[in-house]
Amino acid sequence: MARRILLVDDEPLMIKGLKRTLEQDGYETDSASDGEEALKKLNSEHYDLVLLDVMLPKLSGIEVCQIVRETSDIPIIMLTAKGEDMDKILGLEYGADDYMTKPFNILEVKARIKSILRRAGANREAPKMELSANGLSINIGSRSATLDGKNVSLTMKEFDLLQLFMKNPGKVYSRDELLETIWGQDYLGDFRTVDVHIRRLREKIERDPANPEYILTKWGVGYYFAQ
């Protein structure tokens, strides 16, 4: 079955170019020209990935991303015409899995999409397996997490990070190692991406994020999961 991608941008030429290129590669595409339309489609139809522009009418891409993340871990790639780091960090802060700055190389867009969908597909095929530690549990097969019996909503990258940590308690991972393992060798982001995701993950799984008991920091080295 062809993977479905929702393209959200208020520039008709941008949508037209992306649709033509992605459909040539066998993807099915749909589009929305503002934030409200995007949310309606995401609530009523199934998509495997969203390309989401930051600057949109009615609701911004950041707002859309934040709302989607309350109920879904669908992969989201943010598109921005601005080059400021703040836009990129804000996108990741609210749950985006990746970002690209316009104008971009369409070959790079396709490479990012392929990488994210491949990882998502591999995770769906993972055998059912549970890992637990002091009230925190994850199910690798269903990609779900609970803390003290209550469901915790995690993005794809947040779950990937937590799974890696819980599989290897006590092992310290540098930011460089986490970027390569979770985001892949072709990812062009920097170390702040890791820090943002770690902070968001702690806010969701730690009983007191200011004094974490699960994901700890080895100062000057990296992060690790408490043994």
Query: Is residue 85 a contact partner of residue 58, using CB atoms and an 8 Å limit?
Result: no
The count of C-alpha atoms lying within 13 angstroms of the C-alpha of 6, restricted to the half-sphere facing its C-beta, is: 28
Greater confidence (95 vs 202) lies with 202
Number of Cβ within a 10 Å radius of residue 20: 11
Q: Mark 1-10 as b/e (b = at least 16 C-beta within 10 Å).
A: eebebbbbbb
> What ranges do the domains of the chain cover?
4-124, 130-225
Question: Residue 177 above 80 pLDDT?
Answer: yes
Topology, domain 130-225: Arc Repressor Mutant, subunit A (1.10.10)
The rounded distance, in Å, linking the Cα atoms of 186 and 27 is 21
Residues 146-160 have pLDDT tens digits of 999 899 988 888 999
Rounded to the nearest integer, the mean pLDDT of the chain is 86
The rounded distance, in Å, linking the Cα atoms of 37 and 46 is 14
The rounded distance, in Å, linking the Cα atoms of 142 and 62 is 27
**pLDDT band at residue 170 using 50, 70 and 90 as cut-offs:** very high
Q: Which of 7-11, 91-95, 170-174 is predicted with the least confidence, judged by mean pLDDT?
A: 91-95
Query: Is residue 197 a contact partner of residue 69, using CB atoms and an 8 Å limit?
Result: no
The count of C-alpha atoms lying within 13 angstroms of the C-alpha of 101, restricted to the half-sphere facing its C-beta, is: 10
Question: Residue 182 above 90 pLDDT?
Answer: no
Q: Give the dihedral of Cα atoms 47, 50, 55, 58; nearest 10 deg.
A: 20
pTM exceeding 0.95: no
Residues 121-141 have pLDDT tens digits of 655 554 557 889 999 999 887
Four-residue CA torsion sign, 144, 116, 74, 69 = positive
What tokens does 164 get? Answer: 């890696």
Topology, domain 4-124: Rossmann fold (3.40.50)
Residues 87-124 have pLDDT tens digits of 666 667 778 888 888 888 888 889 889 888 887 665 55
* Cis before 103 (ω within 30): yes
Residues 14-70 have pLDDT tens digits of 999 999 999 999 999 999 999 999 999 998 888 999 999 998 999 999 899 989 887
Among 100, 106, 111, smallest CA distance to 78 is for 100
Q: Which of 54-63, 157-166, 181-190 is predicted with the least confidence, judged by mean pLDDT?
A: 181-190
Greater confidence (103 vs 210) lies with 210
